[in-house]
Structure 1
Amino acid sequence: MPESIPAQMAAMQLVGHGGLDQLVYNQDVPVPKPGPGEVLVRVTATAKNNTDRKAREGLYPTKDKDDTTSFAIGGSPTLTFPRIQGADIVGRVAAIGAEVAETRIGERGLLDFNIYGSDRRDINLTPDYYGHGADGGFAEYVVLPSDQFHAVNNPELSDAELASMGMCSYQTAYHMLTAANVGAGEHVLVTGASGGVGTALIQLCRVIGAIPYALSTEEKAAPLYELGVAHVFDRRHMDDFTAQVREATGGAPLDAVMDLVGGDATMRFIEAMTFDMNARTSYPRLSIAGASGSNVTEVMWTVIYLYQVQIFGVSHGTRVEAEQLIDWIRAGQLKPVLHAAFKLSRLRECERYFVDRGSNFLGKIVVVPDSQWAEHGVPYTLENV
């Protein structure tokens, strides 16, 4: 039986570019209504992503590195204020629009977070996403495309755990691998390995048969080994990085690097792929989907073209990749890496924790509406992890 839908809801609204003061908790936001082909979802958990902070602070320059701007690959900015952020949404279908089957009411699902620029299934050239170009999941309700809200009924996965496997991290990770054509048996370095994309990359390498290596810290080595890495390199000790790679791989160069860091380490990664070209059977490949180290890197282009290093920029993936990931989640081939949950009303505190996270941090943080906290958030509070 359809649930009673309130007229107003609580939501965290981003009211402008800037600091945490731009996040305003509003309990009188109108509940949106689903249109044709859409579903109204009662949100139970939404994963926190670094793109939430970067969009808030305007850290997506494409011309001047000092620009304060939003994600605008489609040609013009789509981030308007107020905006409800939050891309990796889990919840229950509460109501449907025209052209959607009534049987979907009550269904639990996970969102494919993309706002696709076309109907193409194999390419995504002008990506945008929910929580940026349209309202997202940092609210009690959200309207989403019915064909992108994928049912996941696995009883072993809680809603918070399912949100931690959201497409913003997992689809980005998978597209990093597919763009670089990574295959079974290849040695793959994952930088930023303890975060959401990093932990997804490690698991996805194992699913496709590649051998993942992690760049992280010694304190996080044990859980990274449990997740499936062959070796953990300490990012604080990289002066002899190529020698460390030789030892860890038995003398083989890295086949590919999945980089979320950028900055000064980039040339070290390239050297670790090119120190013995005679031992390679494929071109060196560098997939980049983040720049937590620095947005600007000095690169020797002679090294790039003489060693034929292939560089792939990755922001979002495709419909086909999203559906493959959903299949793997349903089949139990991917596991949640959930660090903690925060109440929606405490999103500012959550943001501070996310930025200042310490040596014990691994995986994802999820945000749970206060009205859903007792059922979906309490087991994952910081005190319980």
Structure 2
Amino acid sequence: MAQESVKSSSGNTPASVPSTMAAVLLTGHGGVNKLVYRQDVPTPSPAHGEVLVRITATAKNNTDRKAREGLYPTKGKADTTSFAIGGEATLTFPRIQGADIAGHVVAVGAGVDTARIGERGLLDFNLYADTRRDINLTPDYYGHGADGGYAEYVALPSEQFHHIDNPDLGDAELAAMGMCSYQTALHMLTTARIQAGERVLVTGASGGVGTALIQLCRIIGAIPYALSRQEKAKALLELGAEAVLYRDDMDGFADQVRALTGGAPFDAVMDLIGGGMTDQFIDSMIFDMKRRTTYPRLSIAGASGGNVSEIMWTRIYLYQVQIFGVSHGTRKEADQLIAWIRSGQLKPVLHAAFKLSELHRAEEYFINRDSHYLGKIVIVPDSQWQQHGAPYALQELT
């Protein structure tokens, strides 16, 4: 690659970086063939208020696949469309995906202190519509409405790239604690007003949001119960789950809950599955309303089991079930998560790392992940692989 100094917009030349970089470009809606690895993509320059980050790891999220395949319909069930909560689709092609970015500041734009150069950080992945700290009504994110982390460099808002210097955390582990999963999880809990001592069912417990929910419940004093597969039970219990219910054994689900809780219903359900299981999740909260002290709450941030659920509305309004749809989170919640990461209260659940040039393989592994999958996978630029990726490379089972 040709080399040149990338100047900040203030005129400083604090670091020499390549004029072009390796990146994976999403070229349209479709399969993994729409992801094209190139090594001649222009390196971005930091604008006013931005930092230029040399990327060392980016966590993979299910939203990458859903955006690529156009699986965000809000009207027709079979629409092929991208995330468009702000009124119009902001996903344009080509786009560099990847929301949960960890890396090191190598240059700054005007208005940013040059003392930031060299800092390691983690991105708050949101493209906020305004400066409000406690509400985010039209969420969008890096890797969708702006280029993200499946590359060697990215320009980001300085205020959203948070310095994390914990020496016990590798960069890949830091990326695995990215905001896309953890902020979504925290927003599920805060929106549903979860309190200490409440019993909370976490569905889809082995994924990024699920493992985050289990940890966050314990931090705030709630009691998480996991729904997953039997072979993942030991790891989920070690992570903090009070008990594990099995997704492939849902017969008499409410009775199973009674047996685990001493007859008490769940106070709330954090649902990432949806589909035909939704009714059973509601059952687990309403089977003995006399034992409740709060309204049943269903917080929804995913639909891995199906995008359409059939529910009798009489069950919702007669039992006063409160339903919350959750997409992303707020600046205030991001700040809280960063504080917990810095203090060591949150721990990474890193499954494996893949090279950027092997993103097709990572996508296929993610889509077809088996019963041993737990937590997050991260994507590491080939140029950073030996230091930041190789120690976490996928260990194939034999």
The residue number in structure 2 matching 1:262 is 274
Aligned residues: 385
CA distance in 1, matches of 2:219, 2:84: 33
2:58 partner letter: T
Cα shift readout 1:87-109 (whole Å, capped 9, x = no counterpart):
00000001000000000001000
In the TM superposition, residue 376 of structure 1 has moved relative to its aligned partner by 0.1
Among candidates 243, 249, 256, match of residue 255 of structure 2: 243
The residue number in structure 2 matching 1:338 is 350
2:344 partner letter: G
2:18 partner letter: P
Among candidates 210, 215, 220, match of residue 208 of structure 1: 220
The residue number in structure 1 matching 2:71 is 59
CA distance in 2, matches of 1:244, 1:343: 42
2:135 partner letter: I
In the TM superposition, residue 265 of structure 1 has moved relative to its aligned partner by 0.5
In the TM superposition, residue 301 of structure 1 has moved relative to its aligned partner by 0.3
Among candidates 46, 58, 70, match of residue 46 of structure 1: 58
Cα shift readout 1:19-41 (whole Å, capped 9, x = no counterpart):
01100001000000110000100
Q: Does 1:105 align with 2:117?
A: yes
1:376 partner letter: H
Alignment identity in percent? 73
In the TM superposition, residue 383 of structure 1 has moved relative to its aligned partner by 2.5
CA distance in 1, matches of 2:142, 2:129: 13
TM-score (norm: length of structure 2): 0.96
In the TM superposition, residue 382 of structure 1 has moved relative to its aligned partner by 1.0
The residue number in structure 2 matching 1:186 is 198
**Distance verdict in 2 for CA 1:65–1:384, change over 3 Å:** closer
CA distance in 1, matches of 2:372, 2:75: 36
1:4 partner letter: S
Q: Which ranges of 4 or more aligned residues in structure 1 deviate by more than 3 Å? A: none
CA distance in 2, matches of 1:321, 1:335: 17
1:117 partner letter: A
CA distance in 1, matches of 2:130, 2:315: 37
The residue number in structure 2 matching 1:280 is 292
Q: Does 1:325 align with 2:330?
A: no
1:297 partner letter: S
1:377 match: secondary structure: helix
The residue number in structure 2 matching 1:79 is 91
Structure 1 unmatched runs, 5+? none
2:85 partner letter: I
The residue number in structure 2 matching 1:199 is 211
1:308 partner letter: Q
CA distance in 1, matches of 2:78, 2:146: 25
The residue number in structure 2 matching 1:290 is 302
The residue number in structure 2 matching 1:36 is 48
The residue number in structure 1 matching 2:182 is 170
The residue number in structure 2 matching 1:12 is 24
1:29 partner letter: V
In the TM superposition, residue 3 of structure 1 has moved relative to its aligned partner by 2.8
**Distance verdict in 2 for CA 1:239–1:384, change over 3 Å:** closer
Q: Does 1:253 align with 2:265?
A: yes
2:310 match: secondary structure: coil
CA distance in 2, matches of 1:6, 1:382: 29
CA distance in 2, matches of 1:230, 1:2: 50
In the TM superposition, residue 384 of structure 1 has moved relative to its aligned partner by 8.2
CA distance in 2, matches of 1:311, 1:114: 24
TM-score (norm: length of structure 1): 0.99
CA distance in 2, matches of 1:190, 1:239: 18
Structure 2 unmatched runs, 5+? 1-12
CA distance in 1, matches of 2:286, 2:130: 38
2:18 match: secondary structure: coil
The residue number in structure 1 matching 2:328 is 316
1:340 partner letter: A
Q: Does 1:131 align with 2:140?
A: no
2:255 partner letter: A
CA distance in 2, matches of 1:133, 1:77: 8
The residue number in structure 1 matching 2:374 is 362
**Distance verdict in 2 for CA 1:132–1:280, change over 3 Å:** same
